[in-house]
Amino acid sequence: MIAVPARANHILIILHDFSTGGTERVAIRMASRWAKAGRRVTILCGTHDGQLRSLVDRSIDVVAVQPEIRRGLFSRWSLAVAFAPQVRALRPDLIFVPGNFHLAIASRLAALLGEDRPPMICKLSNPLHRAGRGPARQWLFERVARWLAAPLDGFVAMSESLHAEATRILGEPWIGMVAEPILDDAPVASSAAEAKDVRPLILCIGRLVRQKNFVLAIRAFAVVAAHRNARLLILGEGDQRAALQREIELSGLSDRIELAGHVADVRPALARAAMLLISSDFEGYPAVAIEALAARRPIVATRCSPAIDEIMLHPSFGRIVDADPLSIAEAVTAMLDTPPPDEAALAQLLDRHRLGSASAQYLELFDHMVRRWSAGSARVRSSAAISPAPAQ
């Protein structure tokens, strides 16, 4: 077995690539903090490609396999095989898996490395239960999830509801909890006054993929647009662009709906917006909701995550609605005429999502796991495997 010190001095993050997903962005942000805390951080990836590559701090080593492996049907399996010799050469103290998408890579990688590997911890970035799957598909999904999870040594959930769901489905209480590190440490001053516009701006943010269901957002906006002289701006890029463009043309609102592509910083758009619309079928912990509330923008959201009720703690924050155009349109119209979210209610919610606090909690979990691994007891599944971090 690899000799491991009493803390995670060398953290290895596995990424398929530097796509614009939230899990990749958060992992990169935390990597910078871990490096500043004196840890060596390496990102092991399939390719350097992706718009988030430019966000990686120079203090972080990036190792891409050769030949490169791009996303495809069997790419995660191929990546696990390609990563195995790299992990043996790099000899990290701990491997961090940034989200559910990478779980298949990590599970296969753990099997390939066998006992000659460091501990592996995965952040659960998406819910494990989805009502839309139906009972049979959900049962099969849970069986596969437990099988993939078995070789790993710990998981991190982003909220109390996600922690409870993961514990129930994975079947073992070895899951820590750390709030998603969405916000910078310095509180952002309120920008509510910047949103004055004769034509209020409704904002959607996310990759242009089926999960985000921006078709639903466009159809709901068409109902709003019949009564309000508003605009819809969708920020993001993805394989659904052509389908969304056709939907916009069918709506007859091409002059009022814009697909603006990916932007590195969503804060300027939030400053101009009247509100945020989240139309997703499912989310893990919708980071964009916290960003919107930090900008003092109300939200209309579908019940896309078990954690959505933990975010929408106060009536002034917005509304959670059914995923149909009329329900969304009614809520959007109402929220366009409401004052900004309540400041007192916002404070506690926003503070728990500061980057510095969450990054430090991750390091505590990493060090705890490395100490157990070094003592030869990490493979014993128990309630003490990872002590859940308290909510902030």
Domains of the chain as residue ranges with CATH: 10-181+354-374 (3.40.50.2000), 192-351 (3.40.50.2000)
Which two structure tokens, joined as six digits, stand for 246? 């056709």
CA–CA separation, 318 and 139 (whole Å): 33
Q: Which residues lie closer than 8 Å to 64 by C-beta, 6 or more apart?
A: 45, 46, 47, 48
Return the number of other C-beta atoms located less than 10 Å from residue 139's C-beta.
11
Q: Element (H or E) spanning 205, and its range?
A: strand 201-205
Judged by phi (left if over 0) then psi (alpha if -120 to 50, else beta), residue 179 lies in beta
Q: What is the pTM of this model?
A: 0.82
| pLDDT tens for the 392 residues of the chain, in order | 445 467 999 999 999 999 877 889 899 999 999 999 999 999 999 999 888 999 999 999 999 999 999 999 899 999 999 999 999 999 999 999 999 999 999 999 999 999 889 999 999 988 888 877 889 999 999 999 999 999 999 999 998 888 888 888 987 657 889 999 999 887 655 555 455 556 899 999 999 999 999 999 999 999 999 999 999 999 999 999 999 999 999 999 999 999 999 998 899 999 999 999 999 999 988 989 999 999 999 999 999 998 999 999 999 999 999 999 999 999 999 999 889 999 999 998 998 899 999 999 999 999 999 998 888 754 433 333 344 443 33
Question: Three-state DSSP class for 232?
Answer: strand
What are 197-213's pLDDT values in tens digits? Answer: 568 999 999 999 999 99
CA–CA separation, 153 and 151 (whole Å): 7
Which two structure tokens, joined as six digits, stand for 369? 């796991």
What are 89-106's pLDDT values in tens digits? Answer: 999 999 999 999 999 999
β-pair partners for 44 = 14, 63
Helices (H), 312-389: 325-335, 343-351, 355-374
CA–CA separation, 77 and 69 (whole Å): 10
CA–CA separation, 328 and 316 (whole Å): 17
Question: Three-state DSSP class for 14?
Answer: strand
